[in-house]
Each structure stands twice: as structure tokens, then as C-alpha cells.
């Protein structure tokens, strides 16, 4: 998060205190991993906890996932070098508007040729030209988009690099383009390019899910477990299919493949003679393919499982993974007494124990209740079926757990919207006008339902004025 967003949040907190906002009702807070936000001593979450000790902090799950991807990519040396090379290639191509235009022109000619050969089909919204995209460590999904864009623009990128090598009058530009061309057309680069597409593709699905508004913390933990299982399954059973894809791509683009039966030789990090027994196949299958997948699974486990608190245990206890399992009454009551002492009196905790006991009995006999898989679903069914009247304390507890923020994506987008509304041409916009514009932009789904005629009539009724349609 940038300093302007941090300053805004600090000012907001000071404003709430200034106007005597009831901070005792705050039960959760969520930010990214920046030290000025989550710092235990001087971070924003520390300022909030000083006023309200029960405003529990949760590190944004979408940010955790991005941090896990970046950390894992740095653990495997060839993968770390791949992203450096990927950045160099994109920098060479996107260094000027002229090269960017040449890239799109080359892609347009490629699409035209493939349409004439009948290898691709014409259609509305299909065969878009696109461009290359840089991977940013703090931008969600940017690694996946960067890899996919280069795969789609591979031929066009190679044509542009060849053109720079041949026609550029500046020797440094020719040298940079030649180095980028060698990277691009090497088997190792293409192999890792496809591997990152598979890994980042699975992670991108999780990232998109974690950024949704209607997401509870129990479901988020379940999604993380699912992606770890997917990565492990791909590592155990996906090699043959994956390698066939790489072979097909290399044959299509005339990229020379090494003999996988030869001994692998490299001066980077295998300088000892005792490693001469390592074959090329072992290097790509074990040292890159399996190692990269293991690092991803390990980082996901470290970033999420090790950061899980008893609050996550409480959320999972309310909705057991197996539908046949009963709620752990003793565990739930002890955690409620520990973490929400001002929301439940001693008498209510005693009543909660009996409510949970009755709920377990009804759950075993009610198909709707036994089929609940998330906390949000539990809360919704309790309200819709009016069972919240009988299980009021359980419903209160589910609402408290639902306040724990899974992601700050909605908030981040709200701050990003400021740059769209208050841009260089509208830099003198007043705060009230800016706030009104932001509300309409951020809540665009609601704003689209507004009828223009209704708005005009509303303004007309506020004050006598002429209204033009």
C-alpha cells in the first residue's frame, strides 16, 4: 500500500476518535503486510488495538497468496532467473512506443496468416492482439498475466527482437535484444514459462476467489487447502501431459530440445564432479518441476497455516469439514469466552452451550442444516428459516466471525478509484464532490439500477429549477 493510502487510513482513524466514534464495537481489522499497517508497536492495527483490544487483526489473504508466490519463485534458482529474464525481455520490447507498435503489427500479421490457413477461427471478441505485461511483486495476478501474454505473443516477440538485432543503429540496443532473443528461444526458458503458467494459473483462481466480497474466513482456509491439493496432484501425476505440451510448443516454434538422456552440465550451481551423474531429464523433472511445485506448496502452508490463530479454529469448529461431524461444544465455548468476553456474558455462554447441544441434535435430523459448508451459509439459513429466534447466540457468534476480513481487495480498489476520479485534469475537485463521485464509482452495481428520469425528478423537487432532458 502506498503512503497516501496509509495517511488516509491514519487520518480516518484519528477522525473517528475525534468525533467520539464508538470504537468499542470494532471486532476486526485487516490490512496488507506492510509494516506501517500491521506493525505490532507503531502500525495502524496497534493504534486500533490500544482503543479496542478485541479488534482482531487478519493479514489480507490475497496479499498472503501473492507473497507466497513471490517467495517461492525466489527459492528455486532457475525460476528466479526466469523472472529476471522475463522482465528483461519485456523491458526490451516495451522500451518505446515504436517497438510496441511493431509488436502489435507483427501479431496482427500472424493472426491474419493463421486465419487464412484455417488454424484459428474468426469470431466476435476472439483473436485479440494484446500486448506484454510486466510482473509486479505486489500486483495480484500480474505474474500469471505476464506469462500468458508472452505465450500468446511469443512469435511476435521473437520477430520484434530479430528486427532490433538486424536494424538498430545503436549497439547497446542490439546487444540487449540479442541477449533477450537467446533467453526467449532457450529450452529452459520455454520449459519454465509453461510451468509457471500451470502453477500461476491455479494460484490465480484462488486469488480471484479470495478477492470476492462474499467470502468468509473458513471458506478461504478451505480454498487454500484445495489449491495445495491441486499442486500436489499436478506434481505427482501431471509430468507426462505437461512435457508433451512443452514438446509440442518447441516443435511449433523451432526451439531446439536437449537430449534428456545426456548428462546435465552447468557451471551455475553444480560444479562438483560428484553431480555428473545427473541427467538432463532429472534436472528438469526433479530440480525444476517437482522442486518448484514443492516450494509453492510449502510457502502456501507457511503463509496461511502457520499464521492461523485460534479464531480460525473457532470458525472451522462452527462448520465441520465432514457434514456428519458434530459441533465441538467445549471448544467453541472456551474460545468464545477467551476472544469475545464483552459480547457474551457468563450466563449467555452457559445458554450457548445448551443451544449448541440442541443444534447438534437438529443438525443430525435436518438435511438442510447438515449440508451447510460455510459460516455465511450457516448465518443465512438461520435467518431465512427463522431459527435465529431459537439459536440467537449461535447466530450472534457467526456474525462476529463473519466480520473477520478475508481480503482487503474491495478497500484497495476504492483507494485506486481515487486516481480515476481525481486525475490531472480534475485535481482541484473538492472533498465533498470527490466523495460523491467515489460512492457512485465504487458502488457501480447499485448505481446502474438508478433511472435518469428519477434522479432528475428528485433534483427538481429539491429546489425550483429548470431541468433539461
Among all chains, which residue has been given the C-alpha cell 433539461? 468
The fraction of the chain above a pLDDT of 90, given in percent, is: 22
Cell numbers of 270, please?
Answer: 553444480
> For the ranges 107-121, 349-363, 384-398, which has the lowest average pLDDT?
107-121
Query: What percent of the chain shows pLDDT beyond 70?
Result: 88
Average pLDDT over residues 386-402: 90
| Candidate from 23-27, 155-159, 183-187 with smallest mean pLDDT | 23-27
Alpha helices in 35-76 (DSSP H): 35-38, 44-51, 61-75
pLDDT-derived band at 464, boundaries 50, 70, 90: low
The residue count for the chain? 469
Q: Is the model's pLDDT at 11 over the cut of 70?
A: no
Largest CA distance in the chain: 91
pLDDT band at 13 (very low <50, low <70, confident <90, very high): low
Q: What is the pLDDT of residues 293-348, one digit of tens each?
A: 998 888 887 777 654 556 777 777 888 777 667 888 888 998 888 889 889 998 99
Residue 263 pairs in a beta bridge with 279
For the cut 50, the answer to whether the pLDDT of residue 1 exceeds it is no
Model confidence over 96-146: pLDDT tens digits? 888 888 888 888 888 888 888 777 777 666 667 778 888 887 777 888 899
For residues 441 and 21, which has the higher predicted lDDT (pLDDT)? 441
Q: Comparing 53-62, 118-127, 395-404, which segment has the lowest mean pLDDT?
A: 118-127
Question: Is it the case that residue 17 has pLDDT exceeding 70?
Answer: no
Mean pLDDT for 229-252 is 92
pLDDT band (50, 70, 90) for residue 191: very high
Taking the C-alpha atoms of residue 443 and residue 439, their distance in angstroms, rounded to an integer, is 6
Which has the higher per-residue pLDDT, 62 or 21? 62
The rounded distance, in Å, linking the Cα atoms of 368 and 371 is: 5
CA distance 144 to 136: 10
The whole-chain average pLDDT of the chain stands at 82
Answer yes or no: is pLDDT of 194 > 70.
yes
Residue 250 clears pLDDT 90, i.e. is over it: yes
Q: Is the pLDDT of residue 157 over 70?
A: yes
What DSSP assignment string belongs to 127-162? S---------TTSTTHHHHHHHHHHHTHHHHHHHHH
Is the pLDDT assigned to residue 268 strictly greater than 80?
A: no
260 alpha-carbon distance from chain centroid: 36
Residue 85 has what pLDDT? Answer: 92
pLDDT band at 4 (very low <50, low <70, confident <90, very high): low
Higher pLDDT, 270 or 84: 84
pLDDT band at 411 (very low <50, low <70, confident <90, very high): confident
User: What residues does each domain of the chain span?
Assistant: 1-59, 67-305, 309-421, 423-469
**CB 47 within 8 Å of CB 13:** yes
pLDDT top residue among 217 and 11 = 217
Amino acid at each position: 500500500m502506498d503512503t497516501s493510502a496509509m495517511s488516509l487510513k491514519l487520518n480516518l482513524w484519528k477522525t473517528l476518535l475525534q468525533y467520539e466514534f464508538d470504537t468499542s464495537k470494532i471486532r476486526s481489522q485487516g490490512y496488507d503486510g506492510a509494516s506501517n499497517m500491521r506493525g505490532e508497536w507503531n502500525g495502524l492495527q496497534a493504534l486500533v488495538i490500544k482503543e479496542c483490544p478485541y479488534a482482531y487483526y487478519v493479514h489480507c489473504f490475497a496479499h498472503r497468496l501473492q507473497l507466497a508466490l513471490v517467495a517461492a519463485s525466489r527459492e528455486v534458482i532457475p525460476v528466479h532467473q526466469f523472472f529476471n529474464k522475463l522482465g528483461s525481455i519485456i523491458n526490451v520490447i516495451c522500451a518505446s512506443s515504436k517497438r510496441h507498435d511493431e509488436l502489435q503489427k507483427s501479431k496482427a500479421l500472424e493472426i491474419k496468416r493463421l486465419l487464412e490457413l484455417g488454424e484459428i477461427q474468426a469470431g466476435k471478441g476472439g483473436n485479440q492482439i494484446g500486448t506484454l505485461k510486466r510482473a509486479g511483486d505486489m500486483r495480484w495476478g500480474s505474474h500469471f498475466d505476464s506469462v500468458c501474454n508472452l505465450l500468446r505473443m511469443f512469435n511476435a516477440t521473437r520477430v520484434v527482437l530479430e528486427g532490433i538485432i538486424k536494424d538498430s543503429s545503436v549497439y547497446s540496443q542490439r546487444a540487449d535484444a540479442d541477449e533477450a532473443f537467446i533467453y526467449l528461444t532457450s529450452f529452459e526458458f520455454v520449459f519454465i514459462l509453461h510451468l509457471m503458467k500451470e502453477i500461476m494459473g491455479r494460484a490465480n483462481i484462488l486469488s480471484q476467489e479470495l478477492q470476492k466480497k462474499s467470502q468468509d474466513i473458513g471458506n478461504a482456509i478451505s480454498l487454500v487447502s484445495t489449491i495445495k491439493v491441486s499442486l500436489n496432484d499436478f506434481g505427482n501425476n501431471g509430468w507426462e501431459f505437461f512435457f508433451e505440451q512443452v514438446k509440442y510448443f518447441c516443435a511449433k516454434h523451432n526451439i531446439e530440445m536437449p537430449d534428456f538422456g545426456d548428462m546435465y552440465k552447468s557451471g551455475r550451481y553444480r560444479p562438483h564432479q560428484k553431480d555428473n551423474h545427473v541427467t538432463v531429464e532429472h534436472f528438469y523433472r526433479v530440480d525444476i518441476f517437482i522442486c518448484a511445485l514443492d516450494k509453492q506448496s510449502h510457502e502456501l502452508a507457511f503463509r496461511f497455516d502457520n499464521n492461523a490463530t485460534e479464531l480460525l479454529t473457532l470458525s472451522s469448529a462452527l462448520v465441520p469439514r465432514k457434514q456428519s461431524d458434530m459441533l465441538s461444544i467445549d471448544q467453541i465455548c472456551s474460545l468464545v469466552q477467551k476472544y469475545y468476553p464483552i459480547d457474551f456474558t457468563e450466563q449467555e455462554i452457559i445458554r450457548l452451550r445448551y443451544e449448541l447441544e440442541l443444534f447438534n441434535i437438529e443438525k443430525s435430523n435436518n438435511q438442510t442444516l447438515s449440508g451447510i459448508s460455510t459460516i455465511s451459509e450457516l448465518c443465512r439459513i438461520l435467518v431465512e428459516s427463522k431459527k435465529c429466534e431459537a439459536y440467537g447466540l449461535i447466530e450472534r457468534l457467526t456474525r462476529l466471525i463473519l466480520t473477520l476480513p478475508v481480503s482487503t481487495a474491495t478497500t484497495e480498489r476504492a483507494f485506486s478509484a481515487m486516481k480515476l476520479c481525481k486525475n490531472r485534469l480534475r485535481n482541484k475537485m473538492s472533498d465533498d464532490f470527490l466523495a460523491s463521485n467515489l460512492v457512485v464509482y465504487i458502488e457501480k452495481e447499485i448505481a446502474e439500477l438508478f433511472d435518469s428520469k428519477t434522479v432528475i425528478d428528485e433534483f427538481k423537487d429539491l429546489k425550483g429549477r429548470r431541468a433539461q432532458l
